Amino acid sequence: KAGVTQTPRYLIKTRGQQVTLSCSPISGHRSVSWYQQTPGQGLQFLFEYFSETQRNKGNFPGRFSGRQFSNSRSEMNVSTLELGDSALYLCASSLVQGEKLFFGSGTQLSVL
Amino acid sequence: AQRVTQPEKLLSVFKGAPVELKCNYSYSGSPELFWYVQYSRQRLQLLLRHISRESIKGFTADLNKGETSFHLKKPFAQEEDSAMYYCALTPSGTYKYIFGTGTRLKVLA
């Protein structure tokens, strides 16, 4: 069974640009959540999707958005990038909420 | 506010010594609590969850509702236990996970 796949692995952008990250969950998993990981803050919850519906959102500005498709694949978008957006963005999937999370390898975003 | 606190950023112990990684949470309801681990160059993965009450790789964690704690313990640390450990809470019905800032465990030979 393939694990959670995130693409791309690395991204370099400049301030003001926008970026889209992709996540393919484990087959059969309908819950997908996103996290921002930084050395000082640990993992911070961005949002969670289930059956194409966002069920919760973390405390991030509106520049951070996401969506989920009918095949459970998910994308997150960050518009008007800022230097502080540089981080590892992790995606995780699970069968249902409250169950164990399976993480992807992440997308390392660098904003210059 | 719902919060997970891991007070130690770094914990260094010698091989064979006992280990305790601290986790305190702030949540008024019945929590679902987890410990996740990230070994060097590997993905973040579940170590254990309180509802299972199991021991994984010699680690155990007991939920103490009175002290709102979920400390991770192992009686004899091994070098391969060196990793980053995250405590996480998912408040029932909220569809979100709250992680602590993590504790790096270094087991010295």
- The DSSP annotation for B10-64 comes to EEEEETTS-EEE--EEE-SS-EEEEEEEE-TTS--EEEEEGGG---BTTBEEEEE
Report the residue from A45, A92, A100 with minimal CB separation from B49: A100
Report the residue from A42, A97, A102 with minimal CB separation from B95: A97
Average pLDDT, integer, range B14-24: 97
Average pLDDT, integer, range A103-108: 97
Judged against a pLDDT cut of 80, whether residue A98 lies above it is answered with no
Q: Is A33 on the interface with B (CB under 8 A)?
A: yes
Judged against a pLDDT cut of 80, whether residue A21 lies above it is answered with yes
- Residue A41: pLDDT band by 50, 70, 90 thresholds? confident
Chain A hits for B2, Cβ within 8 Å: none
- Burial class (CB within 10 angstroms; exposed 0-12, middle 13-18, buried 19+) of A17: middle
Judged against a pLDDT cut of 90, whether residue B93 lies above it is answered with no
pLDDT in tens, A84-96: 999 999 999 998 8
Chain A hits for B34, Cβ within 8 Å: 100-101
pLDDT in tens, A56-68: 999 999 999 999 9
B95, B96, B103, best to mutate vs chain A, most A CBs in 10 Å: B95
Average pLDDT, integer, range B35-49: 94
Residue A16: name the closest of A97, A106, A83, A87 by CA: A83
Chain B hits for A35, Cβ within 8 Å: 97, 99
Which pLDDT score, from 0 to 100, does residue B89 have?
A: 93
CA distances from A33 to A44, A65, B49 (A): 11, 12, 18
Q: Is A44 on the interface with B (CB under 8 A)?
A: yes
Q: Is A90 on the interface with B (CB under 8 A)?
A: yes
- Residue B94: pLDDT band by 50, 70, 90 thresholds? confident
H or E stretch including A90?
strand A87-94
pLDDT in tens, B50-91: 877 778 899 999 889 889 999 999 999 999 999 999 999 998
